[in-house]
């Protein structure tokens, strides 16, 4: 049941009616749980065991961790007077270690399943290649593995929760059904945003009454998401698929165009899907976090990753980056550099200060890259992004000095525009790894960018990609519309277009909705004349 | 309370505006409009009970027979309620619609859509839609769509696809991308709606003369008695149709096969025609087989066809005369008793038919291969031939 299907709209409408008419107010959340499981079973009933395993294991282990904490605190209290400071410290360490082991068990179990399903065949294939090159006759078997729907998203969300319980940031949920709802909430199961327990859970469990404004705003957000997904992304993907389906046949100009089109398609697809998710949740009175903040307006790659897939970025920041950067291993690196002669220089001080965080950043982005898929091209994607971030942090004083020397006002419009374009190019380079079918093809693409540009060949190839001139024009108009709305929001980040519309006269408001809806009817990619495209991030 | 009332009115007015807009788009702007749509829609423009003969089936019906000429020469009112490559899956609905709207004295059912050796044509969604997309929503349409879905012939995966049969805009909304390809047919159809009747009564021909070096079997057909099976589904739905006619005591349906050129490429199909004839005999149903008896018709096989399966305007004129006289002689069809308004409309159609005939002949003589029907651009060209 795709978020853009008629079935989904009927499903949301039915859930909404049952939810708002449910007679026992405090158990309204149960309607959402049933709806979430119906949705999941409808889409992926064969693999429901995976989500049930994650739910049960995380639920039980969270309680286990909490029990260890409670008992240890009680024991500490009991022996407060008797135990020396050292004994208390040792006991705390012991408990911390035990808790960490239990948490690790949960992480290993759940990430283990994800990693096995995602990467087993990749490693088996790579291993076979290595053995083959040495003439060793061993061959690891490849398996027919299929990723259950939303496994990355619910695993990340659940593991975030278990770390929060371990850190005592949040109490363990005692009601297994409530926890099941947190893991499976249907608007976000396919592609996020990845919720944080403290922010999301209470909203899920609180009873919400029907609110017309929320309903209206939710519908408008769904419509906007559908416009982005169905008019722009699903149309652009037709041309992109034509290229990726026969990648080796296209020249540099077509590939440049494809990567640009991919930047638009990916953003429209992913942010459109998230808008639909957030819009549906909003109807039920639940505010899910924003996942995109106009990422293509970023002035550097760090900023880009703070604006793109924000919930994933936050997850990696909270649960991987900080633990790494703050670990004794990384802090020791800093100390060691400071202790050397080089550490006494300005450059050394800077490096000592930022090296642990930049290595942690590199590891995070390498992981993000690998999370996208089991392929060397995604390793390339991770290394590129991680490498650029690492370099930009390490070389910052040099860049600052260069900027000073050439006397550029960093806030001048032209320089800001240059930085935005520069960042966009860096992002596009990363996208080459996404678009190209293999790492080698990605490298070939870079080569063709510089050696095989021909407007006439490109033009003739582009016009054979399954889209007519009118459709390219439509995509362009869609891109311009997204751009204009993004500029309005960028100038005043607090601006909500929907709230802005609320202040307009009735005719203007409803005309906007009418035009939006009719645009979907006429220009949307749907129906049996088209193959509905899955959301890009659904596959991750 | 007042606030809720105003809000409800506002929401309902928006929904109504959307509904109307979608309806207008579906009917006029984003419809797959071609000669099939114009012909089927044109049928519903005919005054109730004003047609004495309705011909159902596939393309043979509107290429081989001219309703306008039948009226001009014999005063017989008729209409081809047919669509391109119609299969047996459309036939019951075509007969039902003919009876529901016209109560004709005679329904001729041309059996091209039955004599298929496989389900390829039945499985082709377009053959189903060419007819059903253009009929109004009623119990006949619902039954036909359900039969199609239940048949398992078509691959229908989702409820959304079923929804498409009732709301063709879902399938055709991207048709703006093909503009102006369909606009002439759209304009022609809209013109018919405003005029209130179809000018050419669904006729469509090609300006060609078919010739072949292959051996033609038409003279020997009565002696070629070999049979070849039609597809299981064709037979199943033909038998269901025959059972239904029997159950409903509908006795004014005459099954027929219009003339075709039979050469080596279509001989197997002729054997399937023999097989079909046997099924009809089994039911004791009359079969007017003008393919087998083609040699008895006043047709010149070297001049009167535009391809193996269809007559050009020369053949159409001769065949219409033959069929009208046959119907008058055997089924008591006579000149229709019409009101002045109806007469005026038919006379106007005759005027256009004559020009249409001359235009066709002119194009054939000039060697220009054209498809001529009631699209807006073709009507303008036909008008140039009105004397």
Give me the residue from B13, B30, B164 closest to A522, CB to CB.
B30
What residues 169-208 of chain B have any CB closer than 8 A to a CB of chain A?
169-174, 176-177
pLDDT in tens, chain B (387 residues): 787 888 888 888 889 999 999 998 888 888 888 999 999 999 999 999 999 999 999 999 999 999 999 999 999 999 999 999 999 999 999 999 999 999 999 999 999 999 999 988 888 888 999 999 999 999 999 999 988 888 887 766 555 677 888 888 888 888 888 878 788 998 999 999 999 999 999 999 999 999 888 999 999 999 999 999 999 999 999 999 999 999 999 999 999 999 999 999 999 999 999 999 999 999 999 999 999 998 889 999 999 999 999 999 999 999 999 999 999 999 999 999 999 999 999 999 999 999 999 999 999 999 999 999 999 999 999 999 998
Alpha-helical (H) ranges within A6-84 are 6-21, 28-44, 48-78
What six digits make up the tokens of A21? 């008419």
B180 preceded by a cis bond (ω within 30 of 0): yes
| Mean pLDDT of the region A11-33 | 94
When divided into structural domains, chain A yields a total of 3
Q: Is residue A444 domain-resident?
A: yes
Question: In whole angstroms, how far apart are CA B285 and each of A200, B41, B277, B324, B332?
Answer: 72, 30, 9, 21, 18
How far apart are alpha carbons B222 and A203 in whole angstroms?
A: 82
Question: Is the CA virtual torsion A115, A120, A125, A129 positive or negative?
Answer: positive
- One domain, residues A196 and A236: no
Residues of B in contact with A524 (CB under 8 A): 173
Number of C-beta neighbours around residue A469 at 10 A: 9
Residue numbers of the domain that contains A273:
211-292+436-540
Contact predicate B177/A471, CB 8 Å = yes
Q: Is residue A364 domain-resident?
A: yes
- One domain, residues A171 and A182: yes
Q: Closest approach of chain B CAs to the CA of A526, in angstroms? A: 7
Q: Is residue A300 domain-resident?
A: no
Exposed e or buried b for every residue in B304-328, given b needs 16+ CB within 10 A?
A: bbbebbbbbbbbbbbbbbbbbeebe
- One domain, residues A517 and A529: yes
Number of C-beta neighbours around residue A169 at 10 A: 13
- H or E segment and range at residue A516: helix A506-523
Residues of B in contact with A510 (CB under 8 A): 10, 13-14, 17
Please enumerate in sequence order all residues whose Cβ is within 8 A of that of A283, keeping only pairs 6 or more positions apart, or say none: A12, A16, A214, A215, A218, A219
Number of C-beta neighbours around residue A414 at 10 A: 9
Residues of A in contact with B18 (CB under 8 A): 514, 517-518
Give me the residue from B7, B25, B170 closest to A527, CB to CB.
B170
Q: What is the dihedral of CA B214, B218, B220, B226, to 10 degrees?
A: 90
Determine the Cα angle at A11 with ends A9 and A17, to 5°. Answer: 105
**Cβ of residue B341 closer than 8 Å to a chain A Cβ:** no
Residues of B in contact with A212 (CB under 8 A): 7
Contact predicate B208/B75, CB 8 Å = no
Question: In whole angstroms, how far apart are CA A363 and each of A325, A370, A432, B189?
Answer: 10, 10, 21, 66
Q: Is residue A1 domain-resident?
A: no
Q: Is residue A89 domain-resident?
A: yes
How far apart are alpha carbons A333 and B367 in whole angstroms?
A: 89
Q: Is residue A351 domain-resident?
A: yes
- One domain, residues A19 and A135: yes
Q: Is residue A161 domain-resident?
A: yes
- One domain, residues A418 and A486: no
Contact predicate B141/B135, CB 8 Å = yes
Q: Reduced to 3 states, what is the DSSP secondary structure of residue B255? A: strand
How far apart are alpha carbons A509 and A362 in whole angstroms?
A: 47
Q: CA nearest A152: which of A385, A373, A405? A: A373
What residues 195-214 of chain A have any CB closer than 8 A to a CB of chain B?
212
Alpha-helical (H) ranges within A79-140 are 85-133
- One domain, residues A496 and A538: yes
Picking from A210, A241, A269, the residue at the C-terminal end of a domain is A210
Q: Is residue A508 domain-resident?
A: yes
ipTM of the predicted structure? 0.79
**Cβ of residue B158 closer than 8 Å to a chain A Cβ:** yes
Give me the residue from A7, A468, A521 closest to B177, CB to CB.
A468
- One domain, residues A152 and A224: no
How far apart are alpha carbons A503 and B3 in whole angstroms?
A: 17
- One domain, residues A231 and A320: no
- One domain, residues A361 and A402: yes
Report all structural domains of chain B as residue ranges with CATH numbers, in order of start: 44-121+199-383 (3.40.50.1110)
Interface probe, candidates B25, B155, B177, chain A, greatest A C-beta count within 10 A: B177
Q: What is the CA radius of gyration of chain A?
A: 26
Task: Give the tens place of pLDDT for each residue, A190-235.
Answer: 887 999 999 999 999 999 999 989 999 999 999 999 999 999 999 9
How far apart are alpha carbons B40 and B81 in whole angstroms?
A: 6
- One domain, residues A328 and A381: yes
Task: Give the tens place of pLDDT for each residue, B91-133.
Answer: 999 999 999 999 999 999 999 999 999 988 888 888 999 999 9
Picking from A175, A210, A245, the residue at the C-terminal end of a domain is A210
Give the residue from chain B lying closest to A517, CA to CA. B18
Do B22 and A7 lie within an 8 Å CB cutoff? no
How far apart are alpha carbons B10 and A536 in whole angstroms?
A: 37
Picking from A168, A186, A210, the residue at the C-terminal end of a domain is A210
Give me the residue from A7, A468, A470 closest to B158, CB to CB.
A7
Predicted TM-score (pTM) of this structure = 0.83
Residues of B in contact with A530 (CB under 8 A): 174
- One domain, residues A260 and A315: no
- One domain, residues A206 and A218: no
Q: What is the mean pLDDT of chain B?
A: 92
pLDDT of residue B158: 58
pLDDT of residue B157: 59
Contact predicate A18/A32, CB 8 Å = no
């Amino acid at each position: 049941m795709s978020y853009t299907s008629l079935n989904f709209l009927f499903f949301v409408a039915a859930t909404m009616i049952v939810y708002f008419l449910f007679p026992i107010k405090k158990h309204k959340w149960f309607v959402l749980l049933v709806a979430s499981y119906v949705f999941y079973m409808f889409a992926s009933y064969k693999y429901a065991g995976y989500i049930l395993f994650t739910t049960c294991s995380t639920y039980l282990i969270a309680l286990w961790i909490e029990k260890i904490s409670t008992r240890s605190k009680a024991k500490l209290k009991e022996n407060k007077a008797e135990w020396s400071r050292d004994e208390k410290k040792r006991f705390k360490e012991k408990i911390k270690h035990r808790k960490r082991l239990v948490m690790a068990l949960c992480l290993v179990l759940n990430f283990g399943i994800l990693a096995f399903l995602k990467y087993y065949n990749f490693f088996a294939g790579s291993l076979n290649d290595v053995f083959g090159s040495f003439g060793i006759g061993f061959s690891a078997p490849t398996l027919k593995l299929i990723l259950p729907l939303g496994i990355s998203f619910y695993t990340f969300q659940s593991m975030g929760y278990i770390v929060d319980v371990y850190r005592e940031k949040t109490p363990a949920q005692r009601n297994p059904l409530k926890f099941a709802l947190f893991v499976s909430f249907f608007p976000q199961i396919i592609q996020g945003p990845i919720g944080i327990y403290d922010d999301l859970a209470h909203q899920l469990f609180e009873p919400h009454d029907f609110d017309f404004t929320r309903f209206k705003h939710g519908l408008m957000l769904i419509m906007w998401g559908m416009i982005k997904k169905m008019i722009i992304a699903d149309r652009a993907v037709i041309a992109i698929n034509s290229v990726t389906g026969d990648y080796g046949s296209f020249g540099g100009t077509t590939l440049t165009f494809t990567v640009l089109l991919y930047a638009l398609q990916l953003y429209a697809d992913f942010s459109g899907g998230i808008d639909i998710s957030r819009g549906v949740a909003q109807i039920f009175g639940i505010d899910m976090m924003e996942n995109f903040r106009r990422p293509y307006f970023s002035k550097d790659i760090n900023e880009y990753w703070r604006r793109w897939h924000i919930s994933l970025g936050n997850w990696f920041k909270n649960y991987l980056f900080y633990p790494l950067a703050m670990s004794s291993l990384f802090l020791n690196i800093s100390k060691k550099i400071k202790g050397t002669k080089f550490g006494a220089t300005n450059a050394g001080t800077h490096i000592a200060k930022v090296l642990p965080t930049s290595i942690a950043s590199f590891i995070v982005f390498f992981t993000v890259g690998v999370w996208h898929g089991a392929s060397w091209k995604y390793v390339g994607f991770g290394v590129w992004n991680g490498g650029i971030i690492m370099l930009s942090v390490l070389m910052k004083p040099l860049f600052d000095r260069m900027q000073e020397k050439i006397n550029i006002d960093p806030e001048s419009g032209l320089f800001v525009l240059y930085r935005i374009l520069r960042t966009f190019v860096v992002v596009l380079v990363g996208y080459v790894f996404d678009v190209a079918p293999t790492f080698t093809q990605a490298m070939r693409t870079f080569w063709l960018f510089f050696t095989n540009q021909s407007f006439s060949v490109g033009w003739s190839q582009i016009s054979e990609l399954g889209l007519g001139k009118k459709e390219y024009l439509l995509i362009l108009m869609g891109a311009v519309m997204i751009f204009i709305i993004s500029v309005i929001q960028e100038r005043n980040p607090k601006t909500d277009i929907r709230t802005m519309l609320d202040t307009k006269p009735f005719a203007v408001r409803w005309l906007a909705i009418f035009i939006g809806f009719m645009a979907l009817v006429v220009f949307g990619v749907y129906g049996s004349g088209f193959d509905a495209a899955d959301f890009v991030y659904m596959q991750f | 309370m007042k606030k809720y009332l105003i809000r409800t009115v506002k929401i309902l007015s928006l929904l109504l505006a959307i509904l109307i807009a979608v309806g207008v788009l579906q009917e006029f702007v984003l419809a797959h409009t071609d000669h099939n749509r114009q012909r089927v829609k044109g049928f519903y423009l005919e005054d109730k009970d004003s047609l004495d003969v309705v011909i159902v089936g596939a393309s043979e019906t509107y290429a081989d027979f001219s309703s306008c000429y039948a009226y001009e020469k014999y005063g017989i009112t008729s209409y081809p309620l047919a669509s391109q490559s119609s299969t047996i899956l459309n036939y019951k609905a075509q007969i039902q619609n003919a009876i529901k709207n016209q109560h004709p004295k005679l329904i001729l059912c041309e059996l091209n859509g039955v004599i298929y050796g496989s389900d390829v044509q039945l499985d082709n969604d377009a053959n189903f839609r060419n007819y059903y997309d253009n009929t109004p929503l009623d119990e006949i349409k619902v039954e036909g769509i359900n039969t199609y879905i239940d048949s398992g012939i078509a691959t229908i995966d989702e409820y959304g696809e079923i929804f498409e049969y009732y709301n063709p805009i879902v399938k055709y909304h991207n048709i703006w991308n093909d503009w102006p390809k369909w606009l002439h047919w759209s304009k022609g159809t809209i013109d018919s709606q405003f005029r209130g009747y179809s000018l050419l009564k669904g006729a469509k021909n090609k300006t060609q003369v078919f010739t072949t070096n292959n051996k033609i079997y038409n003279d020997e057909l009565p002696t070629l008695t070999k049979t070849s099976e039609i597809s299981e589904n064709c037979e199943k739905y033909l038998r269901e149709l025959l059972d239904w006619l029997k159950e409903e005591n509908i006795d004014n349906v005459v099954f027929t096969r219009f003339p075709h050129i039979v050469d080596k490429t279509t001989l197997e199909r002729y054997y399937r025609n023999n097989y079909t004839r046997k099924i009809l005999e089994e039911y004791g149903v009359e079969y007017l087989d003008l393919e087998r008896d083609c040699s008895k018709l006043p047709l010149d096989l070297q001049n009167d066809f535009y391809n193996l399966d269809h007559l050009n305007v020369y053949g159409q004129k001769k065949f219409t005369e033959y069929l009208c006289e046959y119907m008058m002689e055997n089924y008591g069809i006579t000149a229709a008793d019409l009101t002045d308004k109806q007469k005026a409309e038919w006379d106007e159609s005759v005027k256009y038919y004559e020009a249409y005939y001359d235009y066709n002949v002119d194009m054939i003589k000039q060697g220009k291969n054209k498809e001529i029907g009631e699209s807006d651009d073709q009507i303008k060209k036909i008008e140039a031939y009105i004397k």
